């Protein structure tokens, strides 16, 4: 097939894609997109911060790190009933997946038990579930899988070379270890990163190649445009050129043709036209609802108006849980690739 799943992408190939004339790049991305997806369907995930702020890590972009004074109120782990109320509201507003985020370096086992309970209850509402809780051990990933967790979000964030400029409290290899634990537990992997942090185009290419050359392509690839939060070390980062952002989405689409590519943080600062270019470049998912974790997002009505103008429809959830969907012993991403390839 003309858009096979490859794990041997080189940086030179990715950089050559970035350097294409814009129309040629978008054409390549559209061909890859249409070979694997309905080009008019966009998946919608809602986000909820279930534990906010006071994080010991030093990620330079993040308003939740305890090391930066961002004025963010700290909140302990939310009770189950509040999480469920928010999940019901997200479903009523049209989200198909509910992602619970916690500002932890890694969860304590007693907190993980509470999150597992949330996963069971949110799934019972007919929503797909996703969690992002920091680093996981294989045993913790297994417990989340047993609770029926569909997706785990853990980002590589940037290229291996630029990584140390942004985070020093956990290593690239730590992240790869958590991704392996999640994959081996049979949970679908959601893994992407952030652009606009002062990285070079070579770093953006290296970041996407690192994602594409993981043992299996992430099922879902969030591409965040940095939200510059006052008080963080990246508050005054130079804004990334919008066309360079669209190019990043297009290259992600070409390198990982069967994955869902999410136009993630940063949409509030984007025009409708820029978002439409991102959809043309192959983005087929968004965060839905007025809040990301701690920062703003376009409201659901504004998104619906944009969907109507562009003739986009909402992609419905996959009814089977990650592990049940693929049978025993087969990693979900591998199953996706078997279907897609």
Residue 277 contact partner, candidates ligand DTB, ligand SAM, ligand SF4, none, CB within 5 to 8 A by sort of partner: none
- 61 lies in the site for ligand SAM, by CB under 6 A: yes
| Closer residue to ligand DTB (CB): 47 or 112 | 47
- How many residues bind to ligand SAM according to rule CB under 6 A? 19
Q: Determine the Cα angle at 287 with ends 282 and 292, to 5°.
A: 140
| Residue 154 interacting partner from ligand SAM, ligand SF4, ligand DTB, none (CB closer than 5 to 8 Å by kind) | ligand SAM
Q: Which is nearer to ligand DTB, 43 or 264 (CB)?
A: 264
Q: Is 62 a catalytic residue?
A: yes
Q: Which of residues 10-69 bind ligand SF4 (CB under 6 A)?
A: 55, 57, 59, 62, 64-65
**Catalytic: 190?**
yes
* Under 8 Å between Cβ of 120 and 87: no
Binding partner of 294, given ligand SAM, ligand DTB, ligand SF4, none, CB within 5-8 angstroms per partner class = ligand DTB
Of the residues 97, 112, 122, 134, which one makes contact with ligand SF4 according to CB under 6 A: 134
Rounded least distance, CB 55 to ligand SF4, Å: 3
Alpha helices in 124-257 (DSSP H): 138-146, 160-166, 172-184, 201-212, 242-255
The residues, any chain, with a CB within 8 Å of residue 28's CB and separated by 6 or more, are 17, 20, 250, 254
Q: What is the C-alpha to C-alpha distance for residues 177 and 310, in angstroms, rounded to an integer?
A: 40
86 is catalytic: no
Cβ neighbourhood burial of 328 (10 Å; 0-12, 13-18, 19+): exposed
Of residues 28, 44, 86, 99, which has the active-site annotation?
99
Q: Does 321 bind ligand SF4 (CB under 6 A)?
A: no
Least Å from the CB of residue 52 to ligand SF4: 9
Structure tokens that stand for 81 in this block: 């009933």
Give 5's contacts (C-beta < 8 A, 6+ positions apart): 217, 257, 258, 337, 340, 341
Q: 311 φ, ψ to 5°?
A: 70, 30
Q: Estimate to the nearest angstrom the gap between the alpha carbon of 105 and the chain centroid.
A: 18
Query: Quick one: 101 or 321, whose CB is closer to ligand SF4?
Result: 101
Using CB under 6 A, list all residues that contact ligand DTB.
47, 63, 99, 101, 132, 153, 155, 192, 222, 224, 227, 264-265, 292-295
């Amino acid at each position: 097939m003309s858009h096979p799943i490859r794990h041997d992408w080189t940086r030179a190939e990715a950089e050559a894609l970035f350097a294409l004339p814009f129309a040629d790049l978008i054409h390549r991305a559209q061909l890859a997109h249409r070979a694997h997806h309905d080009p008019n369907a966009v998946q919608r995930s809602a986000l909820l911060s279930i534990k906010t702020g006071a994080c010991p890590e030093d990620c330079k972009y993040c308003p939740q790190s305890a090391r930066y004074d961002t004025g963010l109120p700290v909140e302990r782990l939310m009770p189950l009933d509040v999480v469920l109320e928010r999940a019901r509201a997200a479903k009523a507003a049209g989200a198909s997946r509910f992602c619970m985020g916690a500002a932890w370096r890694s969860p304590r086992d007693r907190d993980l038990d509470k999150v597992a309970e949330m996963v069971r209850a949110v799934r019972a509402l007919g929503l797909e579930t996703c969690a992002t809780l920091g680093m996981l051990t294989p045993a913790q990933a297994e417990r989340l899988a047993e609770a029926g967790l569909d997706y785990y979000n853990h980002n590589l964030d940037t290229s291996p070379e630029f990584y140390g400029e942004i985070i020093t409290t956990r290593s690239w290899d730590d992240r790869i270890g958590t991704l392996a634990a999640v994959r081996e537990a049979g949970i679908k992997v959601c893994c992407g990163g952030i652009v606009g942090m002062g990285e070079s185009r070579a770093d953006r290419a290296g970041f996407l190649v690192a994602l594409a050359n993981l043992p299996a392509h992430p099922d879902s690839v969030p591409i965040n445009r940095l939200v510059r939060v006052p008080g963080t070390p990246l508050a005054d980062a130079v804004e990334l050129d919008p066309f360079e952002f669209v190019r990043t989405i297009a290259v992600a689409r070409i390198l990982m043709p069967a994955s869902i590519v999410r136009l993630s943080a940063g949409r509030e600062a984007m025009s409708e036209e820029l978002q439409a270019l991102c959809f043309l470049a192959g983005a087929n998912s968004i965060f839905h609802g007025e809040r990301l974790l701690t920062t703003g997002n376009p409201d659901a009505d504004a998104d619906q108006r944009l969907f109507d103008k562009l003739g986009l429809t909402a992609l419905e959830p996959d009814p089977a849980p990650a592990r049940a969907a693929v049978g025993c012993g087969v990693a979900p991403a591998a199953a996706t690739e078997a279907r897609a390839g």
